[in-house]
Each structure stands twice: as structure tokens, then as C-alpha cells.
Amino acid sequence: MNLQQFRYVQEAVRRGLNLTEAAKALHTSQPGVSKAILDLEDELGVPIFERHGKRLRRITEPGQQIVRTIDAILLQVGNLRRIGAHYTGQHAGKLSIATTHTQARYFLPGPVAQLRQLYPQVQVELHQGTPDQVARMLMDESAVVGLATESLLGHEGLISLPCYEWHHVIVVPEGHPLASLARIGIDDLALHPLVTYHPTVTGRSRIDNAFAKARLHPEVALEALDSDVIKTYVRVGLGVGIVAEMAMREGSEGLVAIPAGHLFGPSVSRMAFRRGVQLREFEMRFAQLLSPLLTDSLLQRALHGEPDNYEL
Amino acid sequence: MNLQQFRYVQEAVRRGLNLTEAAKALHTSQPGVSKAILDLEDELGVPIFERHGKRLRRITEPGQQIVRTIDAILLQVGNLRRIGAHYTGQHAGKLSIATTHTQARYFLPGPVAQLRQLYPQVQVELHQGTPDQVARMLMDESAVVGLATESLLGHEGLISLPCYEWHHVIVVPEGHPLASLARIGIDDLALHPLVTYHPTVTGRSRIDNAFAKARLHPEVALEALDSDVIKTYVRVGLGVGIVAEMAMREGSEGLVAIPAGHLFGPSVSRMAFRRGVQLREFEMRFAQLLSPLLTDSLLQRALHGEPDNYEL
DNA sequence: TATCCTTACGGAATTCGTAAGCATG
DNA sequence: CATGCTTACGAATTCCGTAAGGATA
């Protein structure tokens, strides 16, 4: 039994039981992967994969447990490296952040710049995706920190902590009739075609809920993953935009932002980590830049302690 | 980085940072152990052990974390084997039980015999010791199941589940004045020299508490780890014995047992496991023989879930 | 001086890549 | 017949034991 075998099994599972793919991903030969896995199965006395002739078809029942256990082992092995890096005072390294467009564009520039000031040697790597992709990137360790508004909660295997609260705003071109209303109601809004986020991102669910609660079914003219795209289409008159307030801080010439917190309520952006992961020094500092009230000890407790929603 | 290095580090810690001892325990050469550990330290970039010249003096701060992580890894590696053994339907193997004398002598014979009937191939190995030793044996995996009355609770890293409740009894030779009393009070008892358990075992603390509460300070003529020893000394007239009721079920000729539940209250014997350990089929069955209300799923939850005192 | 860790070195075992074989879809 | 897993085999590497060196208590 050895760590290499574990890596091969893990990668095989991640690549959909395709050993050829797994071998490629791990920069090794396919027969080597095959042999290692067979050896492990032999040693444990049970097959991990169910084979149909010579292809892997699915994971056996004991295989499920074995894969879970292997994941846990490799997470800890990764932690050993991280402990080393932490104590060598490595102020160099790569910080991989998985996040959504809105966060990457409008919120992260500040914290990232501050981090680079503290640790000039740290290389920042941004992975953009939907919140679900963010969660997946954390789980397979392509990223260490995740940042998003939705769907990070409820992921077993991830822990998440609140970063900041924000509200939606309504975006219209200058001179639009809605811009002159004293106070916009949900029904005023429902009269116009809407341009807003794709259902998977950035608090879209709060928008849907608000309309559903008022029994309104507004026309959604366009859905986008991206605040800038939304603003662009509002500018050309496609409809009324609803975006996160952060998205209006810049590049909003010719547009008017109208507060809409009273319509959709507050949203909370959260950072997330894989549960049980060991953070390096600069990763901890970065977490604190994302959420200044966060202490090292609270962070440690959250990462290694009980599953819970940690509120500050 | 490899599993062998982890085993060497773990054993080195267990043997008080003596690599020579660790090598012996692992049936390998001392230089091999030394080299492997140095290699690991080199790879992680931090020393695990603080060296004074050429001896290991203590564990460094990062070393503490590394050792903890290594323990977790090796526990899971052990679990892989156990998963294999579980699914190969291995009805053979060794069941290592760590327990105290009273349990081994008076309670375990039943469950052990039943287990052997269910799994005739299973070899049972009994490790006897004080409750603290029981806990230690579970932690370093010389035993899988522990059974004792005290001090298994409050051990971080162990989970324990109740098995059965019992009471103390007073033991006197036939014809002893106490034997004719209608109801014995704690003050009656305090008039006689006592023969009972050593402070570390089998509910001795409940005995001490009862006397302390009544502000009595009886003379303790003899303390023993062993109910049979106590009975022997009672027989020769050394004093009045206090033992667990189970200990009077046999081999009590010439002695009288007087119920003393009203004096010392109930005691609960508990089984214990190392937290996170994967049990084999016959180990689970054995746990159920110890505590018939225990279900597989409750057991799984207890072993892998939240730290908690699981009461049935 | 006895204990105990590190370094040095050589043989043995393991690992890993290439080539060939064979089953599936 | 293209994809994809397994088997076979040989070279390179790693592992691990013995022997020697050096530091502490």
C-alpha cells in the first residue's frame, strides 16, 4: 500500500473511471496506473472498481468507502505539505481563488491588492465559474479559497464563512421612467423586461423569491453570468437590470443605480474552504482580508471542528 | 513522502523519541528509521524533532501538527485494511480487547463465547490493564475494543458507549455482624476496615464520593486491581469488601454479598473505540453482544460523527 | 564509557516506462 | 476498428541493511 496508489485511484475516480485520462493528468504511463490500482485491490482483498471485460464500469460498494477514505488520507497528506510551507515562513507560493465573476471583478481587487502588498511573492490565480463549479474546484483542490454568494452552503465537505452583506440595485439608462419614481415597488419593476443574473449565481434566487412572493411573473429578457454583460444590455435598452450593488461602483457611465434592498433583502457573500484543509500563512491572512472580523483561531476551529455555519 | 516514513515518525513518538527502540518495534534497522525521518523533514522543509547534538530531545511546534496529521493518516490507512477485511467477509481474524480484570473475569466470558460461536475462526486476544492503560491501548491500536467502568469518558480521541449498569455489593465472611443488619448505612460501613479496588478502577470513585459526602473517612485496609484478590483478603478477615456485583456470581463460597446500590449509586460500564476507526464485521457484532440495543448505524454514527456521549 | 543518532555504501527489491495482447462498443 | 485495460519485461530508481563515525550524558 502506498500513497501513489491512492493518488491513482483518486484521479481515476475524478476522471470518470478512465485510467488513460488519469495517467495523462498525473503525467505517468497508463499501464503503471492500472497495475498500481490492481495491486491495491489485491492487497485490500476487494475490488474497488467493477470491471466489464477490460473497462472500468463503476465503483463497487467497498470501493465507495475506500475512495472516501483515500480522499481523507490525501487531504491530510496535502496538509503535511501545507504545515511545512506554513512554518518555513514561506511568504511565496500560489494562492488559488475560485470565484464568480461579480466577486472577481468588483470585490476581490481590493483584498488581492492588499495581499500582494503583504506578500509580494505570492502569485494569485483566479478561477472563475458558477458557484457549483467553485464548490467543485475546492473539492478537487484546484483552488483553496472559494468566494460566492450562493450554493456554497449545504455542500457537505465544504465549510463557509460570511464575508460581507450587500443588496441588489436596479439599473436603468439615464432618463428611464423608473429613475424618476420616488420609491419603486416590486410591481413597478415587474412591468418591465428584466436583465439579470443566470439562475445559478449571485443572489438570483432572492430575486425570484421576491417576485414569486408577490405572485408576479416578470419577463426575463436576458440572463447572464456576468454583471458587465447585464449592464451592457441595459445600456442598449434591452430591459431593466438587476445587479449586485458592487457592480455599479465603476464603469457605470450613462446608467442609474436605484437601491433595491427593500425589494430583495440582503444577500451575503461567503468564502469557503474544503473542510479539514490546512491553510498557509498567507492564505489565512487573505481570509482575514476578505472578512476582517475573522480571527486565526476562529478560522482553525471552523476548518477542523464541527460542521456548522460559522457566523461572526 | 511515503507511508513508511509516517510509521517511523509515529513509532518514534510512541517510543519517547528513541529511534533505536522504534526501529526494534518495527523490525527494521535503526539507520533506516533515522534516514527516513530525515528525508521526510527535508521534504517538508521543517524539523519534526528538535535535536541536541545527535539525540532527539523533543517535538518541534510544526512537529506537533505533523505528528497529529500523521496519526490521522495512519488511522485511515488502517481503515482501508479494515474495509477490505470487512467486505471479504473475513470471518477470521483477531479481536483485540483491552479491559479491566473485573470485566475480563465476570462479564466478558459470555459475549466472548457467543462471538466465538458466531465466528469460530476469530481469535480473541485479551489485554488487561487499568482503565488508563485501556485507553492507551486503544489509542496506539494494540486493541480495538475497550471495556471499563471509568476514565474512558473524557479521553479526546476515544468514543465510548454504555454497555450495562451495575451496583456495588458489600462482601463479608459468613457470620460477620454486617450480614445480619437489616439495612446497612454508609456509617455502619465506615466502622470497618475496607478492602476494595485500587483508585483507578471499577467505580472506586463512586465509593470515595459516597464516604466523602457523608464526611466519613473509613480505613482502607487494602486496595487491589482485582476482585478475586479482594475476595481472598475478605475471606481471611482483613476487612469488609466492596466489589462489583458481577464479581459475586461465582467463586464466592463462604462469603455473603449485601446489596449496596443505595450507598454508592449505579455504575455504568462502557465500551470504547478509537474515534474514526473502521470496524470489521465481527467487531461490530461483538459490540452488539456487549450492548444489545446498539445498531450498526448508531455505531457508525458514533465512530465517525460528532464527539458526543452516545446514550442508548 | 555506554548510548544513540547520522553518514556511507552496496546489494536487493520495487517502481515505472515501453511494447504487446485482448476485450468492448 | 478505435478505445482502453491488462500482461510482460527490462532499465532505473529507491529502499534497506551492515558497517563506520561522532556526539551526548
Residue B204 or A36, more confident: A36
| CA-closest candidate to residue A122, choices A144, A100, A150 | A144
Q: What DSSP string describes chain B?
A: --HHHHHHHHHHHHTTT-HHHHHHHTTS-HHHHHHHHHHHHHHHTS-SEEEETTEEEEE-HHHHHHHHHHHHHHHHHHHHHHHHHHHTT---EEEEEEE-HHIIIIITHHHHHHHHHH-TTEEEEEEE--HHHHHHHHHTTS-SEEEESSS-TT-TTEEEEEEEEE-EEEEEETT-GGGG-SS--HHHHHTS-EEEE-TTSTTHHHHHHHHHHTT----EEEEES-HHHHHHHHHTTS-EEEEEGGGGSSS-TTEEEEE-HHHH--EEEEEEEETTPPPPHHHHHHHHHHSTT--HHHHHHHHHS-------
Nearest nucleotide by C1' position to the A51 CA atom: D5
Nearest protein residue to nucleotide D15, judged by CA and C1' positions: B32
Q: Check whether A61 has a pLDDT greater than 70.
A: yes
Which fold is adopted by the domain B168-265? D-Maltodextrin-Binding Protein; domain 2 (3.40.190)
Using a CB–CB cutoff of 8 Å, tell me whether A61 touches chain B.
yes
pLDDT tens for A258-275 read: 999 999 999 999 999 999
A293 confidence band (pLDDT: 50, 70, 90): confident
List the grid coordinates of A45: 482483498
Taking the C-alpha atoms of residue B67 and residue B229, their distance in angstroms, rounded to an integer, is 41
Q: What is the pLDDT of residue B88?
A: 86
Sheet holding A194-197, edge to edge: A220-224, A194-197, A240-244, A168-173, A255-259
Nearest nucleotide by C1' position to the B18 CA atom: C4
Q: Check whether A203 has a pLDDT greater than 80.
A: no
Taking the C-alpha atoms of residue A186 and residue A202, their distance in angstroms, rounded to an integer, is 19
Nearest protein residue to nucleotide D17, judged by CA and C1' positions: B29
Nearest nucleotide by C1' position to the A32 CA atom: C16
Q: What is the pLDDT of residue B306?
A: 57
Residue A151 or B104, more confident: B104
Task: Give the pLDDT mean for A199-213.
Answer: 85
With b meaning 16 or more CB within 10 Å and e meaning fewer, what string describes A137-156? bbbeeebbbbbbbbbbeebe
Q: What is the pLDDT of residue B112?
A: 92
Q: Check whether A312 has a pLDDT greater than 60.
A: no
B3-82 against B168-265: fold identical: no
Q: Check whether B81 has a pLDDT greater than 90.
A: yes
List the grid coordinates of A22: 488519469
Percent over 70 (pLDDT), chain A? 97
Distance, Å, A54 CA → C22 C1': 9
Q: What is the pLDDT of residue A311?
A: 57
Distance, Å, B61 CA → C13 C1': 36
Nearest nucleotide by C1' position to the B29 CA atom: D17
CATH number of the structural domain B3-82: 1.10.10.10
Q: What is the DSSP letter of A246?
A: G
Q: What is the pLDDT of residue A132?
A: 87
> Per the CB < 8 Å rule, is B1 touching A79?
no
Q: What is the pLDDT of residue A200?
A: 81
Q: What is the pLDDT of residue B91?
A: 79
Q: Check whether B26 has a pLDDT greater than 90.
A: yes
pLDDT tens for B213-244 read: 999 999 998 898 889 989 999 999 899 999 99
Strand partners, B222: B195
Which residue of chain B comes nearest to A42, CA vs CA? Answer: B84
Using a CB–CB cutoff of 8 Å, tell me whether A43 touches chain B.
yes
B310 confidence band (pLDDT: 50, 70, 90): low
CATH number of the structural domain A90-165+268-303: 3.40.190.10
Q: What is the pLDDT of residue A309?
A: 52
Q: What is the pLDDT of residue A143?
A: 94
Q: What is the pLDDT of residue A1?
A: 94
Q: Reduce the DSSP state of residue A169 to 3 states and report it.
A: strand
Number of Cβ within a 10 Å radius of residue A121:
10
Using a CB–CB cutoff of 8 Å, tell me whether B304 touches chain A.
no
Burial class (CB in 10 A: 0-12, 13-18, 19+), A225: middle
Residues of A in contact with B278 (CB under 8 A): 65, 69
The rounded mean pLDDT for chain B is 90
Question: Cα–Cα–Cα angle for B150, B153, B159, nearest 5°?
Answer: 125
B167 confidence band (pLDDT: 50, 70, 90): very high
Taking the C-alpha atoms of residue A90 and residue B309, their distance in angstroms, rounded to an integer, is 41
Q: Which residue bears the cell 465510548?
A: B160
pTM here is: 0.81
Residue B88 has its nearest CB partner, among A45, A72, A90, at: A45
B11 confidence band (pLDDT: 50, 70, 90): very high
Protein-proximal nucleotides of chain D (any atom < 7 Å from a CB): 4-8, 15-25
Distance, Å, A18 CA → D11 C1': 28
Strand partners, B114: none
B77 confidence band (pLDDT: 50, 70, 90): very high
List the domain boundaries for chain B: 3-82, 90-165+268-303, 168-265
Using a CB–CB cutoff of 8 Å, tell me whether B79 touches chain A.
yes
- φ, ψ of residue A152 to 5 degrees: the values are -90, -30
Q: What is the pLDDT of residue A202?
A: 67
CA distance B155 to chain A (A): 17
